[in-house]
Chain A
Amino acid sequence: MKRFRFHWLFLAGAALLPMVSPHLSEVLRPIFIMAILGLGLNILTGFTGILNLGVAAFMAVGAYSYAILTCDIYPFQLGFWGATGAAILIGLVAGVLLGLPTIRLRGDYLAIVTLGFGEIVQDSLKNLDVITKGTQGINPLPAPPHPSYFLFLGFLSVVVLINRNLERSRVGRAWISIREDELAASCMGVNVMKMKLTAFALGAAQCSLAGALWASFLGSSGEPGNYDFQISIIALCIVIVGGMGSIGGVLLGALVMVGFNTIVLETFTNFLKAHQLISSTNVFTAPGNWKYMLFGLALILMMRFRPEGLLPSKSVKAELHHDPS
């Protein structure tokens, strides 16, 4: 009997939500996109154990690729599907480009390099304003096909399905073995280099997809400053707070992290504004000014009391497909 996994519950619930509360479904699209970003990071960090502190770079690559390929200020104008497909491929190449020179680096050195890669991409996008229009961003972009809520949910579902399929297969097993004990995996003949590059490629491709969807959602590529370290950290926290390596955990993490920022904080701010409790001269009264503190404290407390995350992954339990008698 199959246990009900959280990720299926989440997707089913999200599919039914518009009937129950149309307003709430407005806010969920960014959560779907951040969930795809988190799932991309999950392949690298959750499954393979490669700490990546610069996934915002891949998201930026996807967003700008999509924008350049759809906006009518450039001749390409591929439309939603063509541009999204191209963005995924470009992300894949970017992942391989980052992975190749860094493949043999030890974990923490690699982490700093990924941090640097994030900076490189962000600065390059800012500087090459002939192409990227700098802080203005590339806009306007054509709207995504209707209905975009189910479109994004559909993308998320496909990503969840593919990730889950990979997790319970030779590929996922190899990734997890690298995370558990890279040396032993290598001694067992696992092609560590190839598997790490695959993780980079696939993770980057997914983050790039998230970027493309984000650009289509915004109707603009956004500015380079949007794809900064904070996004990378939010993605990392989604994966770790949700539960490393657990797909359902990433979805829950995205819900919690993004939901908190957009739903809870905004509602609270609106409430205070309505009751005129916010003063512009006193920095302590605006709830928005507390968000870093709350976020930080939540992380510290979470790690103190539940470091395995909200929905830790049950290890890949092999379902017996063969009668042992």
Chain B
Amino acid sequence: MSGGEVLLQQLIIGLSNGMIIALIALGYTMVYGIIELINFAHGDLFMLGCFCALTLVGALGLEHTGSVIVLLAVVPVFCGGMNWLVDRLAYRHLRGQKLAPLVSAIGVSFVFLNFGLFWGGLPMNVFGGGKAAAAPKDFPSLVSNANLLSESNVLFTAKDLMVVAITIPLMIALTLFVKRTRAGKAMRAVAQDRVAAQLMGIPVDRVIGQTFLIGGGLAGVASVIFSLYNNTIYFQMGYRAGMDAFTAAVLGGIGSLPGAVLGGLFIGFVRAISDQYIATRWTNVIVFAILILVLVFRPSGILGARHREKV
């Protein structure tokens, strides 16, 4: 492969991975934007979504590509529901506090982690008969790996197409939702000024619950795509995913939806370039070094609003 082709390949890899990170980052940044909570449990929620997807594949015996629709229908609902439930049980009573919800989120993260461990130990074939609960599980190939650019050295497979085909319409739909619908406007209002929104008659707790629902749903979509793309899941994968999502969201400006997408893509590209041209083992260091560098020059992230304190 020529130098240009290598670069193009990295861009494609970066795009696909970046989109997945962007989806997870979106869910995370929406929740942060509305209650300023660093939701540690978000990565582990993503992990649970992957396990849910695998369970569906095993239980329903899904085999061909079309069954992706089933996964996309069920898993986001599962994840969204879990997220909503967690808000109701663990965070709702802690509104207005800063550190208590954070610690609570850490607690939820550990609970989810343990769920993942137990889930992997269920006596199902897809989980290896429950013998090694903590081991990584294989996810069957429902989407083919064949190169769509048949003659080229550059790989652009059906998997890459799937990523783009699902995420782009989803992001457009999300933007329209947030900008045009009443529920979306309510979310933006609560994010900007909770007390004022309350005074305007907006049911704040209900709106926050909806935000968790949608954020969780986005994580669910991401988990379906990830599982189909990478064909392997393990109960500790939430940590890495969460880290990437936090970094992407901060890079783009926490609370900003386009920022999360920008951040996710940026990290996807940086990872791909670093893996190829420097060394995989230094990729994490490079990503964070770039994060720190960007924040020195733009302390609120690339698209973040400059926070002006009201005096």
User: Residues of A with Cβ closer than 8 Å to B?
Assistant: 51, 101-102, 104-106, 108-109, 111-113, 115-117, 119-120, 123-124, 126-127, 183, 229, 233, 236-237, 240-241, 244, 281-284, 289-290, 292-293, 295-300, 302-304, 307
Q: Which residues does chain A contribute within 8 Å of B112, judged by CB atoms? A: 296
Interface membership of B58, Cβ < 8 A: no
A-contact 0/1 string along B299-311, CB 8 Å cutoff? 1110000010101
CB distance from B138 to the nearest CB of A (A): 18
Q: Are B282 and A299 in contact (CB under 8 A)?
A: no
Secondary structure type dominating chain A contacts: helix
Q: Are A102 and B246 in contact (CB under 8 A)?
A: no
- How far is it, in angstroms, between the C-alpha of A295 and the C-alpha of B292 when the chains are bound? 32
Chain B residues within 8 Å of chain A by Cβ, number: 54
Tell which of A112, A236, A303 has the most Cβ of chain B within 10 Å. Answer: A303
Q: Which residues does chain B contribute within 8 Å of A299, judged by CB atoms? A: 103-104, 106-107, 110
Q: State the 6 A-B residue pairs at the shortest beta-carbon distance, nearest first.
A: A283-B121, A299-B107, A296-B110, A116-B288, A296-B111, A293-B114
26 A-B pairs (CB sep. < 8 Å): A101-B295, A106-B307, A108-B36, A108-B38, A109-B250, A109-B295, A112-B246, A113-B295, A119-B284, A120-B289, A124-B285, A127-B281, A229-B239, A240-B103, A282-B130, A283-B121, A283-B133, A284-B118, A292-B114, A293-B111, A295-B107, A296-B110, A300-B89, A300-B90, A300-B111, A303-B103
- How far is it, in angstroms, between the C-alpha of A108 and the C-alpha of B118 when the chains are bound? 32
Stretch in B59-67, B92-100, B156-164, B180-188 touching the partner: B92-100
CB distance from B184 to the nearest CB of A (A): 23
Q: Are B131 and A281 in contact (CB under 8 A)?
A: yes
CB distance from A44 to the nearest CB of B (A): 13
- How far is it, in angstroms, between the C-alpha of A241 and the C-alpha of B107 when the chains are bound? 12
Interface membership of B291, Cβ < 8 A: yes
Q: Which residues does chain A contribute within 8 Å of B239, judged by CB atoms? A: 229
Q: Are A289 and B99 in contact (CB under 8 A)?
A: no
Q: Are A304 and B93 in contact (CB under 8 A)?
A: yes
Interface membership of B109, Cβ < 8 A: yes
8 Å CB contacts to A: which residues of B93-137? Answer: 93-94, 97, 99-104, 106-115, 117-118, 120-121, 130-131, 133
Secondary structure type dominating chain B contacts: helix
Q: Are B307 and A123 in contact (CB under 8 A)?
A: no
CB distance from A138 to the nearest CB of B (A): 19
Q: Are B106 and A119 in contact (CB under 8 A)?
A: no
CB distance from A81 to the nearest CB of B (A): 33
CB distance from B255 to the nearest CB of A (A): 10
Interface membership of B6, Cβ < 8 A: no
Q: Which residues does chain A contribute within 8 Å of B99, judged by CB atoms? A: 51, 240, 244, 307
Q: Which residues does chain B contribute within 8 Å of A296, judged by CB atoms? A: 106-114
- How far is it, in angstroms, between the C-alpha of A304 and the C-alpha of B103 when the chains are bound? 10
CB distance from A265 to the nearest CB of B (A): 14
CB distance from B185 to the nearest CB of A (A): 25
CB distance from A128 to the nearest CB of B (A): 10
Q: Which residues does chain B contribute within 8 Å of A289, judged by CB atoms? A: 114, 117-118, 133
Interface membership of B165, Cβ < 8 A: no
Tell which of B106, B281, B291, B311 has the most Cβ of chain A within 10 Å. Answer: B106
- How far is it, in angstroms, between the C-alpha of A289 and the C-alpha of B109 when the chains are bound? 15
Q: Which among A102, A126, A183 is the interface contact of B281 at CB below 8 angstroms? A: A126
Q: Are B292 and A292 in contact (CB under 8 A)?
A: no
Tell which of A120, A229, A240 has the most Cβ of chain B within 10 Å. Answer: A120
- How far is it, in angstroms, between the C-alpha of A241 and the C-alpha of B301 when the chains are bound? 31
* B129: nearest chain-A partner, CB-CB: A281
* B296: nearest chain-A partner, CB-CB: A101
CB distance from B186 to the nearest CB of A (A): 23
Interface membership of B190, Cβ < 8 A: no
Q: Which residues does chain B contribute within 8 Å of A101, judged by CB atoms? A: 292, 295-296
Given the interface pairs A289-B114, A292-B114, the reply to whether A104 lies near B107 with Cβ below 8 Å is no
Interface membership of B16, Cβ < 8 A: no
Given the interface pairs A299-B107, A303-B101, the reply to whether A117 lies near B114 with Cβ below 8 Å is no
- How far is it, in angstroms, between the C-alpha of A302 and the C-alpha of B110 when the chains are bound? 14
Query: With contacts A283-B120, A292-B113, A296-B107 known, what are 15 further pairs, Cβ within 8 A?
Result: A101-B292, A109-B250, A109-B254, A111-B38, A123-B285, A127-B281, A236-B106, A281-B130, A292-B117, A293-B114, A296-B114, A297-B111, A299-B103, A303-B103, A304-B104
Q: Are B281 and A123 in contact (CB under 8 A)?
A: yes
- How far is it, in angstroms, between the C-alpha of A240 and the C-alpha of B98 when the chains are bound? 12
